């Protein structure tokens, strides 16, 4: 059997990181087993649909470098792959179920259904849901409704006896009593649009889907889908519901925990390599110890058997760690290109840089590579170069364990030493040694000397390495800032 899997999102919002994981698992499973990865757009909920969400879906997959073998844009033998373009198919199959007696037309008005519901609540009835009023209409009764021009829905006839079992690769058998399955759910709405259940089952069958990998929140729909497959007389695909994605507190991952939409991660400056690597490890592992996987690795080694059963925790710190790693792996040229949009947005650089500016950007890329967790970190790290905002608060210059008087001496002597040594071409290591000796002379820790220098030069206590900062600023500017710092703390 050749594997065919699908990612079937509904374009009703931005791509969630949990959805991205579902897409990746399906994609890697297809690739590693020589199968096909299909993209299907489940856009039958027209009220919640938005063009922006659909575009976001395409942007997300293309940013990740995930290509679908069949689906919108690329087409394929089982198209169209957008559900709103398949209405005729759903109507045809829903009517076929009616002919077989597995489904029926229901003409109940909204008011009637609401009344039934109210009654059930009032009587604390054990039976909840549709009362199967139209389950056994005679042909005459039906024609009477039709004559009145009432547009019916089509409902599935759910057996009232017996049980339905659906098997999940990870969860095992899940069995429900038929009478606990929602009574006679709507398959086709009166406007001719299918509900999720009908469209999903028909498409998975018609598109030859062999494995259904989707979020665990769809498990409750499982028994109903099995009933639908049985009603059609179709083979049930293999189910594999993926472990939940939780925050550290064990709650379902949400905005409270941090970014959740891929667009957000992207804007903060996570790299696709890091997202792919880390997100695939949320609920999957090869051997429990290997951590680094490229997309190409995963296209080979991803196995269904290695998906975890237990809920998985999304660890933002771990993602940062992977991202830092992939940033350091990049060349200076690549980093320069990646940080440029952030610098441009701040007005720090312009798209038409001259040779000197380009060279400076490369040096900045080199110096900042080790210090960024996400690309947007470049803004606070480098703003001292482009936007000079001196620290006016004297206390910021004073390191722990030092005092203002010592700090003044440190900045004065240290600054002179720095500038004269750099002018004389003394190597960094030696300059550092001299600064260390100065700190001993003053009876302070090394930071007692370095902190005031750093604050005066970079306007911040955290920044790029000191010598990189100086080289990016230039000696004249550095000297000017050292003098200014001194006058601030002396005043
Ligand atoms: N359209 C559903 C969703 O948005 C698909 C669920 C499934 O994969 O069956 O998640
Ligand atoms: Zn009815």
pLDDT, residue 128, reads 83
H or E stretch at 176: strand 172-177
pLDDT, average across residues 183-206: 96
Identify the active-site residue in 122, 255, 400, 429: 255
pLDDT, average across residues 157-166: 95
Q: Other CB atoms closer than 10 Å to residue 308's CB: what's the count?
A: 14
pLDDT, residue 463, reads 86
pLDDT, residue 17, reads 97
Q: Reply yes or no on whether the pLDDT at 422 is more than 90.
A: yes
How remote is the C-alpha of 457 from its chain's centroid? Answer: 38
Q: Compute the distance from residue 145 Cα to the ligand 2 centre, in Å.
A: 11
Which of 9, 57, 219 gets mutated to test ligand 1 (max ligand atoms within 8 A of its CB)? 9
pLDDT, residue 126, reads 82
pLDDT tens digit sequence for 282-305: 999 999 899 999 999 999 999 999
pLDDT, residue 125, reads 86
Q: Other CB atoms closer than 10 Å to residue 359's CB: what's the count?
A: 12
Task: Determine the Cα–Cα distance for residues 43 and 85; give it in Å rounded to an integer.
Answer: 9
Q: Which residues line ligand 1 (CB under 6 A)?
A: 8-10, 42, 200, 214, 218
| Opening angle at CA 92, ends 187 and 238, nearest 5 | 60
Q: Reply yes or no on whether the pLDDT at 213 is more than 90.
A: yes
Task: Determine the Cα–Cα distance for residues 52 and 74; give it in Å rounded to an integer.
Answer: 20
pLDDT, residue 122, reads 92
Is residue 255 annotated as a catalytic residue, yes or no?
yes
pLDDT, average across residues 223-247: 96
Q: Reply yes or no on whether the pLDDT at 51 is more than 80.
A: yes
pLDDT tens digit sequence for 335-363: 999 999 999 999 999 999 999 999 999 99
Q: Reply yes or no on whether the pLDDT at 15 is more than 80.
A: yes
Q: Reply yes or no on whether the pLDDT at 68 is more than 90.
A: yes
Ligand with an atom nearest the CA of residue 225: 1
Q: Compute the distance from residue 107 Cα to the ligand 2 centre, in Å.
A: 5
pLDDT tens digit sequence for 247-286: 999 999 999 999 999 999 999 999 999 999 999 999 999 9
Q: Residue 50 — pLDDT band, cuts 50, 70, 90?
A: very high
């Amino acid at each position: 059997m050749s594997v065919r899997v699908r990612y079937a999102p509904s374009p009703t919002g931005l791509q969630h990181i949990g959805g991205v994981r579902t897409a990746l698992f399906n994609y890697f499973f297809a690739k590693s087993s020589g199968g096909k990865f299909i993209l299907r757009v489940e856009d039958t909920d027209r009220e919640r649909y938005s063009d922006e969400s659909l575009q976001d879906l395409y942007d997300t997959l293309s940013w990740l470098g995930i290509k679908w073998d069949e689906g919108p844009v690329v087409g394929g033998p089982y198209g169209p792959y957008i559900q709103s373009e398949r209405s005729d198919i759903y109507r045809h199959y829903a009517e076929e179920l009616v002919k077989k007696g597995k489904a029926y037309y229901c003409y109940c008005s909204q008011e009637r259904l609401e009344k039934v519901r109210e009654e059930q609540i009032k009587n604390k009835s054990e039976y909840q849901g549709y009362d199967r009023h139209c389950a056994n209409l005679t042909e005459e009764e039906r024609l009477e409704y039709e004559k009145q021009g009432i547009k019916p829905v089509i409902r599935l006839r759910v057996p009232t006896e017996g049980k339905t079992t659906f098997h999940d690769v990870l969860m095992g058998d899940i069995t429900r009593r038929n009478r606990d399955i929602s009574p006679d759910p709507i398959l086709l709405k009166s406007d001719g649009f299918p509900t999720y259940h009908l469209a999903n089952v028909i498409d998975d069958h018609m598109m030859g889907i062999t494995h259904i990998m989707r979020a665990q929140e769809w498990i409750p729909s499982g028994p109903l889908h099995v009933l639908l497959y049985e009603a059609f007389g179709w083979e049930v695909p293999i189910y594999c519901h993926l472990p939940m994605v939780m925050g550290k507190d064990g709650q379902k991952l949400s905005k409270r925990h941090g970014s959740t939409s891929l667009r957000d991660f992207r804007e903060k400056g996570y790299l696709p390599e890091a997202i792919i690597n880390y997100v695939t490890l949320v609920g999957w592992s090869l051997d429990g110890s290997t951590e680094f996987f490229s997309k190409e690795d995963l296209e080979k080694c991803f196995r269904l058997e290695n998906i975890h059963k237990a809920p998985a925790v999304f660890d933002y710190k771990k993602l940062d760690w992977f991202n830092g790693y992939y940033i350091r792996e990049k060349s200076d040229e690549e980093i320069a290109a990646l940080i440029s949009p952030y610098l441009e947005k701040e007005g720090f650089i312009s798209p038409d840089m001259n040779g000197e500016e380009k060279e400076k950007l490369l040096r900045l890329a080199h110096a900042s590579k080790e210090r960024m967790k996400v690309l947007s970190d470049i803004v606070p790290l480098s703003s001292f170069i482009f936007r000079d905002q001196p620290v006016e608060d004297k206390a910021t210059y004073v390191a722990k364990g030092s005092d203002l008087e010592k700090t003044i001496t440190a900045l004065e002597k240290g600054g002179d030493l720095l500038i004269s040594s750099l002018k004389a071409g003394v190597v960094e290591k030696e300059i550092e040694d001299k600064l260390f000796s100065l700190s001993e002379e003053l009876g302070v820790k090394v930071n007692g000397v370095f902190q005031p220098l750093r604050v005066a030069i970079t306007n911040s206590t955290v920044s790029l390495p000191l010598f990189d900062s100086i080289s990016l600023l230039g000696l004249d500017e550095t000297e000017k800032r050292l003098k200014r710092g001194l006058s601030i703390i002396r005043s």
